[in-house]
Amino acid sequence: MWKPNPTGCNTTDMGFRKPMDYNSVSHQIYIAGVELHSPYNDGYVQWEIKKDLYKLKWLLDGILKDSPEFVGEPEFLEEQSKKQMWRSLNEV
């Protein structure tokens, strides 16, 4: 039976807290990118959006810099790097 989660945090099958919903967060960032490139927004609005994206980037960079390395992380990063490279090559 489903029960609401009073903490607002998602949990995984193993029961530990997962404090964010990746799909929701990535969607919000994607929409910010759409608005950043929208011809209907002026430069003032676009600049505010871009500043927010920079602040998020710096926040994430700091959190990741201070976090430990986990088993399988180098392989995951290498795989993601290759995917990014192929996307860049396909854009040309």
Q: State pLDDT tens for residues 10-25.
A: 555 566 777 888 999 9
Q: How much is the average pLDDT of 34-62?
A: 97
Burial 62-75 (b: 16+ CB within 10 A, else e): eeeeeeeeeeeeee
Q: Which two tokens stand for residue 27?
A: 């969607």
Number of domains in the chain: 1
Write out the residue range of the structural domain in which residue 68 sits: 10-91
> Which pLDDT score, from 0 to 100, does residue 65 have?
96
User: Confidence band (pLDDT; 50, 70, 90) for 80?
Assistant: very high
Q: Is residue 76 part of a domain?
A: yes
Q: Are 53 and 44 in contact (CB under 8 A)?
A: no
Q: Is residue 74 part of a domain?
A: yes
Percent of the chain with pLDDT over 90: 74
Q: Is residue 3 part of a domain?
A: no
Which residue type occupies 58? Answer: W
pTM for this model (two decimals): 0.72
Q: Is residue 50 part of a domain?
A: yes
